[in-house]
Amino acid sequence: MRTSFRIIITLAAALVIAGCSAGSRKGVRAVLQTTEGDIEISLSDLTPLHRDNFIKLAESGFYDGVTFHRVIKNFMIQTGDGSTRKDTSLINDDYTIPAEINDSLFHRRGVVAAARTGDDVNPERNSSGTQFYIVQGKVYNDEELAATIQRIEYNRRQFLYNKALLDLRKEAEQAGKEMSEDEIQQSAIIKAYDAMEKAGTYVMPEHHRTAYKTVGGTPFLDGAYTVFGEVLEGMEVVDAIAGTATDLTDRPVQDIRIVKVKIIK
């Protein structure tokens, strides 16, 4: 798949984050040995498909030598594209993993999540088999969070509309029924609206809001991408990579690579 897709300041925030992380801290750990230093992460038991896939890839040596090919400061650092390896013999990244989106695993600073293609071509939000990103993010204020919630609502509407389009096209094909694109689109709008009414308005959980206002993250990605781990040690390395010079495609000017990934069970 080639499509590319700061610190706790109150005790309350610390307790919130510890609670949110409980699911992932029980999981397997992995050390990403990079050319900038080590990043230790834990893999969540709440996302077993992603956890086991990551372990398989790491133990096979797939990640040895891949670059951080997409880096955006105050957002995230992305890696896992097999075509960025010097040795391309282990490239086998043309597959996806079913989404395991869990509301308790949200995009606060330091989480590890799976990259994927967009909703328009991937309405099921299946994850890339190999590519993942680590959130650096930024700290948000109330006004920014309010705008983010509107963005999340818009993304939900678009997701439901795209899913309805796909479902209706499949249903028409299976039934041998001819429908014009205009008919399908109008039906999809109604179906998406009904789904939004049933789901209700999105409300950001208070502990998410507290984390984004103290530690930071990328809240606009919540509910759309599978978070499957978190950084335990080495956020200074993530920050260093995120701060590196990049070209117009967000690729670091000087290659930054994963040397090896060590799994600790």
As a whole number of Å, the end-to-end CA separation of the chain is 29
Could you tell me if residue 210 is inside a domain? Answer: no
Residues 123 and 35 in one domain: yes
Given a cut of 70, the residues of the chain with pLDDT beneath it are: 1-27, 88-92
pLDDT in tens, 42-52: 999 999 999 99
Q: Which two tokens stand for residue 102?
A: 């869990």
* Exposed/middle/buried for residue 154 (C-beta within 10 Å: 0-12, 13-18, 19+): exposed
Shared domain check, 20 and 133: yes
The pLDDT value given to residue 235: 98
Question: Within a domain: residue 107?
Answer: yes
**CATH number of the domain to which 75 belongs:** 2.40.100.10
Are 219 and 107 in contact by the 8 Å Cβ rule? The answer is yes
- Do both 75 and 189 map to the same domain? no
In a domain, 6, yes or no: no
Do 150 and 43 fall into the same domain?
no
- DSSP for 88-149 reads GGG-----EE-----TTS--BTTEEEE----TTT-TT-PEESS-EEEE--B---HHHHHHHH
Is 204 domain-assigned?
A: no
Q: What is the pLDDT of residues 70-102, one digit of tens each?
A: 999 999 999 999 999 877 666 667 899 999 999
Same domain, 76 and 194: no
Looking at the fold, whether 24 and 154 belong to one and the same domain comes out as no
Residues 62 and 115 occupy one common structural domain: yes
Q: What is the CA radius of gyration of the chain?
A: 19
Residues 29 and 132 in one domain: yes
36 phi/psi in degrees, rounded to 5: -105, -5
Same domain, 171 and 226: no
Looking at residue 90, its pLDDT comes to: 61
Range of the domain at 147: 143-199
The answer as to whether 209 is a domain residue is: no
- Residue 5 in any domain: the answer is no
In this structure, the number of other CB atoms found within 10 A of the CB of residue 204 comes to 16
In a domain, 2, yes or no: no
pLDDT of residue 89: 66
Domain boundary among 199, 226, 246: 199
Count of domains observed in the chain: 2
Task: Return the closest-CA partner of residue 130 out of 214, 71, 69, 221.
Answer: 69
Residue 94 lies in a domain: yes
